[in-house]
Amino acid sequence: MALALLLSVAVALLQPAAPPLPALALDTYPTAARTAIAAAYKAAESTPADAAATGQLARVLHAWEQWEAARAAYGRAQALAPAAFEWRYLEALVLQRLARPDLAVAALREALSRSPSYLPARLKLAEALLDAGDLEESRKRFAELTDPACAPAVQFGLGTIAARLGRHAEAVEHLQRAITLFPEFGAAHYALARAYRALGRPDEAEAALARHAQFGARWPAIEDPVAATVSTLREDAGALLQRGVKQAEAGDVEAAIASHEAALSLNPSFAQAHANLIVLYGRARVWAKAEEHYRAVVKLAINVADAHYDYGVVLGLQEQWDGAAEAYRKALELNPQHAQARNNLGQVLERQGKIAEAADEYRHAVESQPTLRIARFNLGRMLIAQGQNDAAVAELSKLTEPRDAEAPRYLFALATAHIRAGRRDEGIKWATDAKALAERFGDTALAAAIERDLARIR
């Protein structure tokens, strides 16, 4: 027993002492942050040998974006529990936010040595290697990730690597795949714009930049239970809204609504929460609640043009076309350059058989936002309907690139315009391209429809 005691003392002496808890200026924090952090700090201070208590303090600091303090607390938690995976992994996430990819790589390697199969950590390591400039190992790590959940991020990573190596055509292929898998991938649209510009394709670059502006920072998240232990800690209105936005992007509309309503319970005048709920309740087909939040935004008088537009979409889902048209017109009274409202108003007028008026709205939408491809496509269709086939060709010819999942129907419309203008061979060429592209993107119904038309033409 004496020998065992001596050995345990010797081992303890050889182990480095755990670093102290970070010094915190609690009085400088906002009230909500101060309350949460102070409680976690008190628990960690009262049980200094408890790695879980120290780790929880680190998580709270992390949630409130106190990066350096969180990093220090994670370091202490690791010293107290050297075999634990989560503290080293969460520290790596903090290091990425601190723009220290070299240290993040080391932290992620160590975390993965403890839990080699944890998919989010494997993806984060590939991304950190890319940020650190190790393109070859990053490419290898991305290529090893075969789980469909991370496929958009993998294609984005491979596209970024190809672009940095000057292989811009290859970059375009990867980035288009990423966008096909996750159409709202803002960063991928921006990277695609840069690749198009490098290839001397300015029109396509402009269209990709417009999509980047539309989708902003949206990113294809994968399920990460360890990171979720941080993101769920904050309960202030802003954090709840952001949580709801991410839930909506993941397709969990019910949870997104709950998060937004919780944000409004804390701040009833939170205009962005009301605005988001117009769309969310529309997706859930809870029409009365969508209208309630629409009225709230109008009363608050913040971003009202977008609220009119969103409510017009909700009314359109109910096939209340006159009400939808009125909402779009209200949006346009406040913002005449609202291209989406112009386009949607054109669609309502088209449904009502007002082809010339619809064409005018589509034309105004294109003038307001030349990169809004759906508006140009709709304008082309109206020109065909009016027998103005050469004018339709002129418009639709501007939609031949990029060759993404939207392109097959644009090319098919161009083929139709050529055929109706008497250019049969040119029409067959574009229809054949449209069919091949539809098959490539898995749109079998459109491919079959094009094949039937080709059979009649030939």
Q: Is residue 122 part of a domain?
A: yes
Burial of 307 (0-12, 13-18, 19+ CB in 10 A): buried
Cα distances (Å, whole numbers) of residue 1 to 7, 101, 155, 236, 378: 10, 47, 59, 54, 86
pLDDT at 10: 44
pLDDT at 204: 86
Q: Is residue 210 part of a domain?
A: no
Name the domain boundary from 182, 200, 224: 182
CB atoms < 10 A from the CB of 424, how many? 12
Cβ-contact 230, 59 below 8 angstroms:
yes
Nearby residues of 166 by Cβ (< 8 Å), 6 or more positions away:
none
Question: H/E element holding 249?
Answer: helix 237-249
| Tokens at 346, concatenated | 């054109």
Residue with tokens 């040119």: 426
- Tell which residue, 211, 161, 162, 143, has the closest CA to residue 182: 211
Cβ-contact 233, 58 below 8 angstroms:
no
253-286: b (≥16 Cβ within 10 Å) or e: beebbbbbbbbbeeeeebbbbbbbbbbbbbbeeb
Name the domain boundary from 157, 182, 207: 182
- Tell which residue, 432, 382, 370, 373, has the closest CA to residue 404: 373
Name the domain boundary from 182, 207, 241: 182
Domain containing 130 — which CATH number? 1.25.40.10
Eight-class DSSP state of 21: P
pLDDT at 2: 57
Separation of alpha carbons 104 and 107, rounded Å: 5
- Tell which residue, 283, 337, 272, has the closest CA to residue 307: 272
| Tokens at 328, concatenated | 């779009």
353-378: b (≥16 Cβ within 10 Å) or e: eebebbbbbbbbbbebbbbbbbbbbb
Q: Is residue 261 part of a domain?
A: no
- Tell which residue, 418, 350, 416, has the closest CA to residue 378: 350
Separation of alpha carbons 297 and 330, rounded Å: 14
pLDDT by 10-residue block (mean), the chain, 458 residues: 51 63 90 91 96 97 96 97 97 97 97 97 98 97 96 97 97 92 91 95 86 82 93 90 88 94 96 97 97 98 96 97 98 95 97 96 94 94 97 96 88 96 95 94 91 88
Cβ-contact 375, 365 below 8 angstroms:
yes
| Tokens at 356, concatenated | 């010339």
Separation of alpha carbons 376 and 414, rounded Å: 12
The parent domain of residue 148 ranges over 17-182
Q: Is 34 helix (H, G, I), strand (E, B) or coil?
A: helix
Q: Is residue 195 part of a domain?
A: no
pLDDT tens digits for 30-56?
Answer: 888 999 999 999 999 999 999 999 999
Nearby residues of 354 by Cβ (< 8 Å), 6 or more positions away:
none
Q: Is residue 369 part of a domain?
A: no
Domain containing 444 — which CATH number? 1.25.40
Q: Is residue 318 part of a domain?
A: no
Separation of alpha carbons 61 and 70, rounded Å: 5
**Helix residue spans in 49-134 (DSSP H):** 51-63, 67-80, 86-97, 101-114, 119-132
Q: Is residue 83 part of a domain?
A: yes
Q: Is residue 346 part of a domain?
A: no
- The identity of residue 158, as a single letter, is L
Sign of CA dihedral 185, 190, 193, 198: negative
Q: How many domains does the chain have?
A: 2
Eight-class DSSP state of 20: P
* Phi/psi at 455 (5° precision): -60, -40
Residue with tokens 């017009």: 312
